[in-house]
Every structure is written in C-alpha cells, then in structure tokens.
C-alpha cells in the first residue's frame, strides 16, 4: 500500500500525500571521509519520516544536505516536483523548511519570546525603508506576528518562561524552545535532529506528544533523527536506516525491524 503514488491512509486515519521531497543518489564527502554514499529516499506530504542508524552513520549530514548547510558532491534534491538548485541555508529556510540542531542552536542571549519571534522572520513582509518611515505599519505587523508566536508558545506549554533569557534554561526546555522557533516558521517540512537526546522519560513523552500533535493538527511533514527505537517505532510512518554512510533499510517500522541487514548493523548492537 505504501507505493500508491498519490498517497495513502495510515492505520490511525491520517492522510499521507504524494512525494514532497526526494533525495536522488546523494553522495557527500569530507576529504577522505564519505559521510553519505549514493543514498536515495523520499519524504511524503504529511508523514513522519525517521532516519536512524548508529553513531557516525551520516544521519545529521543527510539533514544538513536537506537544509542546505552541506552541499553534496553528487546527487540531486527534488522539492515539490522540481529539482532544487544549490542553495544557501537561509534560502532553504525561506522555502518553508525549518530545522532544529543536534547540539541545540538557540540565541542564548535573547528571551524565549524573542527566539521564537525570529522564527517568523521569513513571514515578515515590510522592508527596512517601510520600517523606518512607517513605524505604525511595522508595529502592526509585529503585533500580528506576535499573536501567532503566542499560540505556539501556548501549544508547547512554555508560557511561564516567555521572558526568560534562553541561556538560563535547563537542557530539556531549550530543546522545546528550539522546536517552538522552528514551528513559528509554519514550515511545510520540519527537520528534527535528535529532538529527545539527553532527555528523561517524562520529557521524552512530552516531546513525542508534541511531535505527533504538530503533525496531526498542522499537517506538518516531519523528518526526524532519533536513537531511541521505542520512540521511532511509535512515532514514524516510515524509516530510513543508515550505516557507514550507506542506506541499509527503508520501510515501515515493522518492515525495518524485520530486515536482517538492519538487525545485524544496528538493532542487534543496540539491544544485546
């Protein structure tokens, strides 16, 4: 059923659409190190797509290729049915692709509210001259954006720290603020690099719930990297498995779980 070109309905009744993003034969090298070796896979409209694999497998590198931080030596990236030219990260962001980082990249000196507001930058239309000459209009826009941001802050349950400088927050909350900033962009595609790394069980449950809600309520397509197999099996519709830069599995959580290569390379190691 996963092969239907224009989509399918999941067991829990969510509608998955056609292909949104397609990676074709991506190869990425750093000097002698081949981080990604000839990998192809796609991400469908509305799905939660997981990328898993042991340490150093090339997962983050793949996310960095999608978000324009790394530029592969070979291969093509297709987005919404057309081939994407080589782009800078800020251009990718402006196309509606938001992301979080494995090592959290927040504006530590700014408040939570200001951090999340930066997520709206791609949606703010007044230019600099207008801002300077027509203060009122700029302020009106600021207010409108502010409302959207407040909604996201409510949604992620971080109202109580709105005015706190991010640098003072504990790790778990930082991860949540980073998600809030990415969500503020109202992205078509959301890339999450280990959103639950370093969290305790309770925080992980919260984060899982948020990810599912984002996908469900806003229809946001999500690609995420995660080490916790339980989480991956619960959250994702389809999984790509990487090992030493190569793709060794691709399918539903069940398919992947029963794939012998995957068991050998990854699950076997992780569970014994």
Ligand X SMILES: Nc1ncnc2c1ncn2[C@@H]1O[C@H](COP(=O)(O)OP(=O)(O)OP(=O)(O)O)[C@@H](O)[C@H]1O
**Binder among 21, 35, 65, 117 for other proteins (CB under 8 A):** 117
CB of 185 to other proteins, least distance (A): 7
Residues forming contacts to ligand X in the complex (CB under 6 A) are 30, 33, 35, 53, 55-61, 102
**Please, are residues 175 and 181 in contact by the beta-carbon 8 Å criterion?**
no
* Contact between 107 and other proteins per CB under 8 A: yes
* Contact between 101 and other proteins per CB under 8 A: yes
CB of 197 to ligand X, least distance (A): 9
Give strand ranges (E) for the chain.
8-9, 15-16, 19-30, 33-44, 48-52, 74-79, 82-83, 97-99, 189-193, 221-225, 238-243, 246-251
List binders of other proteins among 120-159 (CB under 8 A): 121-122, 124, 126, 128, 131, 138-139, 142
CB of 35 to ligand X, least distance (A): 3
* Contact between 69 and other proteins per CB under 8 A: yes
Nearest of 229, 221, 195, 223 to residue 209 by alpha carbon:
195
CB of 187 to other proteins, least distance (A): 10
Nearest of 37, 31, 35, 4 to residue 19 by alpha carbon:
4
Q: Point out which span in 12-20, 86-94, 102-110, 197-205 binds Mg ion (CB under 5 A).
A: 102-110
Nearest of 143, 148, 144 to residue 119 by alpha carbon:
148
List binders of other proteins among 71-90 (CB under 8 A): 88-90
Residue with tokens 């569970």, as numbered in its chain: 271
CB of 59 to ligand X, least distance (A): 3
Residues 116-155: x where in contact with Mg ion by CB under 5 A, - otherwise, as a string = ----------------------------------------
**Please, are residues 249 and 240 in contact by the beta-carbon 8 Å criterion?**
yes
**Please, are residues 64 and 77 in contact by the beta-carbon 8 Å criterion?**
no
* Contact between 220 and other proteins per CB under 8 A: no
**Binder among 46, 51, 60, 153 for Mg ion (CB under 5 A):** 60
**How many Å apart are CA 109 and CA 145, to the nearest integer?**
21
DSSP letter (8 states) at residue 77? E
* Contact between 109 and other proteins per CB under 8 A: yes
**Please, are residues 136 and 144 in contact by the beta-carbon 8 Å criterion?**
no
Binding residues (CB under 5 A) for Mg ion: these are 60, 102
């Amino acid at each position: 059923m996963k092969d239907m070109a224009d989509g399918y309905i999941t067991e829990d009744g969510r509608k998955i659409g056609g292909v949104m993003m397609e990676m074709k034969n991506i190869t990425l090298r750093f000097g002698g190190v081949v981080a990604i070796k000839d990998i192809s896979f796609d991400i469908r409209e509305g799905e939660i797509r997981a990328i898993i694999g042991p340490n150093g497998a090339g997962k983050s590198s793949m996310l960095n290729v999608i978000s324009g931080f790394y530029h592969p030596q070979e291969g093509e990236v297709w987005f919404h049915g057309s081939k994407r030219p080589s782009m800078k990260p800020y251009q990718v962001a402006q196309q509606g692709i938001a992301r979080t980082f494995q090592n959290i990249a927040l504006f530590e000196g700014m408040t939570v509210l200001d951090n999340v507001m930066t997520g709206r930058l791609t949606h703010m239309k007044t230019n600099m001259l207008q801002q300077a000459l027509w203060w009122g209009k700029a302020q009106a826009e600021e207010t409108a954006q502010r409302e959207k941001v407040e909604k996201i802050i409510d949604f992620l349950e971080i109202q109580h720290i709105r005015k706190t400088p991010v640098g003072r927050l504990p790790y778990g909350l930082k991860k949540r603020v980073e998600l809030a900033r990415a969500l503020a962009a109202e992205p078509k595609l959301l890339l999450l690099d280990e959103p639950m790394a370093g969290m305790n069980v309770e925080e992980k449950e919260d984060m899982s719930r948020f990810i599912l809600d984002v996908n469900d309520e806003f229809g946001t397509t999500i690609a995420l990297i995660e080490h916790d197999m339980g989480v991956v099996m619960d959250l994702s519709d389809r999984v790509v498995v990487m090992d030493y830069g190569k793709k060794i599995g691709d399918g539903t959580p069940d398919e992947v779980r029963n794939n012998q290569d995957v068991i050998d390379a990854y699950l076997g190691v992780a569970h014994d």
